[in-house]
Every structure is written in structure tokens, then in C-alpha cells.
Amino acid sequence: MSRITIDFSKEIGKIKPMHCVNNGPLKEGEDIRTGNFDKWIEMGIPYSRNHDASLCIEYGGDHTVDVWAIFPDFDADVNDPDSYDFTLTDRYTKNTLDSGTKIFYRLGTRIEHWVKKYGTLPPADYKKWAEICEHIIMHYNEGWADGYHWNIEYWEIWNEADLNEDDAPNKRTWGGTKEEFFDFYEVVSKYLKNRFPHLKIGGPALSGRLDWGEDFIKEMGKRQVPMDFFSWHRYCPEPDWLISKHNKFKKMLIDNGYGDIETICNEWNYIRQWTPDFLNNVKQIISMKGAAFAAACMIAAQHSSIDMMMYYDARPSRFNGLFDFYTLEPLKTFYTFKMFNELYRRENSVSVNSDDETVYVAAAKNESGEALMLCYYTDDDNAQPKTVELEIKNGKEKYDLYLLDEKNDCEAIGKYKANTPLKLDVNTVILLK
């Protein structure tokens, strides 16, 4: 029998924004007949990273977010508002902000899987590229070019420059060398941080290569390049793999003078292996197993030193376990995010302990009450049901029990009496509040 202990009298910090995502909601009636805006609000998403937004025609496609899309002629005057096309990015960004979700802005370009590359080629002039980004920030935060005062705080430089580094014909994210990227990042980071010292400027959104990441961190440290956050990605079948990757990057940051900056995993999802079983990965992402995996990752990250997590992806795509690709109706992982938001709303994390590495638990409280989220997840497809002995100290005697499993969509199924054992099927998520 697994044993879980929760003590609501012992606060251990804050519930962190682990239920952030890549990309935003779709409003019904804006060139599409269906939307998910109202359901999106139910999840309480704290931040939306706008990477790969230009792959989605509903957001605006090729005319959205990416630096080359907003500033299409690199030879144009960087100071002339007419050189910029903000129209569709404005609409996409406003829709997200209207939902109550803040923007995490990725400066750079989408991934390019095609045989010919466009936006992933290194800019001809790094300083001019930084100046273009300066004016994008001015548009959204300082009202420049009929812009806004949206106070977007996070600005990320590029995405996955380490991906396919040694495969010259198939460089999908950065067409130059590693050394060129280091020079590029230095120029852009120093320029933007000097111009906007009050904003959080960081990156580089690594695909996850430890050797490449270590070289980057060491070189940035030597050059005294400012970084307010370090971002990286992890696709895997077990939460421990994600936490292990973070711990290794965290040590590198500490060893090179960046120990106090935020660490953000801003792409993650279930992947057992990229090939040859990719279609099975997709099936898991949109299944109850994918939802339990998401719950386990968010809970595990809450108990780590990771500062923020961003699920990939909330745009209509094969990586979206939140909403059905065709109908935009909620899938199982949607309810996982709603459940975690119950913890986030209560703000104060409390002491928990599990003696079972496949049973993940987090709990929170504030003046309005208590909430506990528990998940039984493993990638073992032959795992059996188990009984969990749940000891709740200094809490209520009874809680409403909400169940997420193959048959239930976070539905209230009755009352739970404190310290009563729970029998759980594999890939089950429970919320007590």
C-alpha cells in the first residue's frame, strides 16, 4: 500500500505557474465557426508563449509573431512604422490577453521542417535585428506605432538553436554555427537589456542538448551576457527525466554565475521516442495517459526548483492534448490543467510526502480553503491498480472528490472522508477540495 502524508499546517512556499502553455485561445466568429475561448478561461492559464503561432492559420499564419513576419523587408528603415506589419499579431495577442493569460513573447522564428529555410537563417546584421526587436517591444509596451501599453514582461531570444546542429541540410531552427549563435545572442541580449532594464530578457529555449547548453552557459558567463531566465525543453515519458534534465542545467547555471536566474521549461509533452513510434506518442498525448502524465509533470516540477513550465502545445496541432483538433472540445488534459489551477488559486503550497514514486501529490491552501491534487502515473502499460493510504494532518474532515479517469471528466463523485484509503487505477487524477 502506498502512503501519502499531507500537513496543511506547514506552508513550504508558493504554488508556481506550472500550467502555462505555448499559444493561445481561439475566439468563435473570427474567421472560424467554433472557438474555445470560454473553456480556455476555465483553465486559468498564467502565461502563454507565442512560439510556433505562425504555423496556425487561425492565429494569422505567416503574418503572425515571428520577427521576419512583422518586419518582412530586412533592408527597410528600422525606425519607420511603415516597415512593420503588426496587424495580425496585435489581434492574436489581444485575444490571449482578453482571456486573462499573460504573454511570454518569443523573439525569433518558428521551427521550419521544409527543405528550404527562411526565417531560421542567421540575420545579416545582429545589431539591426536587435533594433527591430526593440521596436516590437516598444509597440507592445510603450505605444509606439499605434501600439499598446500591455507590460509584457518576458522576452525570449530565439528557439532551439541546438537542434540538428550537425545536420547542415536539415537545420530547422538556426541555420548558422554554434559560435555564430553565441555572438548573435550576446549582441541581442546586451542591447535589449540595456534598452529595457526593467524587463526579463532571456533564452535560448534549448531543445535539451546538455553539451551544447553547457558550452552556451559557459560562454555567456565569460562574456558577462545578462540573462534573466534560462529556458529549455524536454519531451519524455517519465517526469523524472524532465526533473533530471533541469537539475543538470541548474548546476551549470550555478557554476557559471547564473544561479539566481529563473529556469523555465517552456516546451514539454509526452514522447516515448521520436521515431519510429511517433504516431503512438500522438495517441498518448490526446489520451487519459497523456493527461495523467501532464499532472505528474506539473506536480513533480512544483516540488523542484523549476520556476515555470509551458506545455507544448495549445494551438490546434497533434501535440495539443487540451482541445480536439477538429471540434475544439476539451480533451482529458484540459481537466488536468483545471485541477492544477485549483492549487494555483490557493497560492500557498503545503508539506506533502509520498513513499511511492508513481503517486504524485501537491496541496495548497489560502483563506478560501484547501485543495489537494493526486495522480497515479507510470509509463508501464502493464501497471495495476493500487491502494493509497492518505493521511491528512490539520485539514478538514471531509472534502469534495473530483475524479479524472477514462470515464470521468473531473466530475464530483461524492465526499471523501480524511484518512480513508483510496483505490486508484493507473493514469488517474484526483482533486480534493
Query: How many angstroms separate the CA atoms of 31 and 91, rounded?
Result: 12
Query: How many angstroms separate the CA atoms of 52 and 277, rounded?
Result: 23
**Radius of gyration in angstroms for the set of CA atoms belonging to the chain, rounded to a whole number:** 22
pLDDT value at residue 112: 87
pLDDT value at residue 1: 82
| pLDDT over 70 at 194, yes or no | yes
Residues above pLDDT 70, as percent of the chain? 98
Q: How much is the pTM?
A: 0.96
Longest dimension (CA), the chain: 69
Q: For the residues 170-199, what does the mean pLDDT come to?
A: 94
Q: For the residues 35-64, what does the mean pLDDT come to?
A: 96
Identify the three-state secondary structure at position 105. strand
| Model confidence band, residue 30 (pLDDT cutoffs 50, 70, 90) | low
pLDDT tens, position by position, 372-431: 999 999 999 999 999 999 999 999 999 999 999 999 999 999 999 999 999 999 999 999
Domains of the chain by start residue, with CATH: 16-347 (3.20.20.80), 349-432 (2.60.40.1180)
Q: For the residues 202-230, what does the mean pLDDT come to?
A: 97
The torsion angles phi and psi of 60, rounded to 5 degrees, stand at 140, 0
| pLDDT over 90 at 321, yes or no | yes
pLDDT value at residue 31: 61
| pLDDT over 80 at 166, yes or no | no
Q: For the residues 192-210, what does the mean pLDDT come to?
A: 96
* Residues 376, 424 contacting (CB under 8 angstroms): yes
The torsion angles phi and psi of 312, rounded to 5 degrees, stand at -120, 110
If one compares 165 and 101, the residue with the highest pLDDT of the two is 101
* Residue 400 CA from chain centroid, whole number: 29
* Residues 52, 23 contacting (CB under 8 angstroms): yes
Query: How many angstroms separate the CA atoms of 67 and 187, rounded?
Result: 16
| Chain mean pLDDT for the chain | 95
| pLDDT over 70 at 32, yes or no | no
- Give the residue ranges of DSSP H helices in 45-165: 67-70, 87-98, 126-141
If one compares 258 and 120, the residue with the highest pLDDT of the two is 258
Q: For the residues 339-366, what does the mean pLDDT come to?
A: 97
pLDDT tens, position by position, 230-260: 999 999 999 999 999 999 999 999 999 999 9
β pairing state of 102-107 and 154-157: parallel
| pLDDT over 70 at 169, yes or no | no
pLDDT value at residue 168: 62
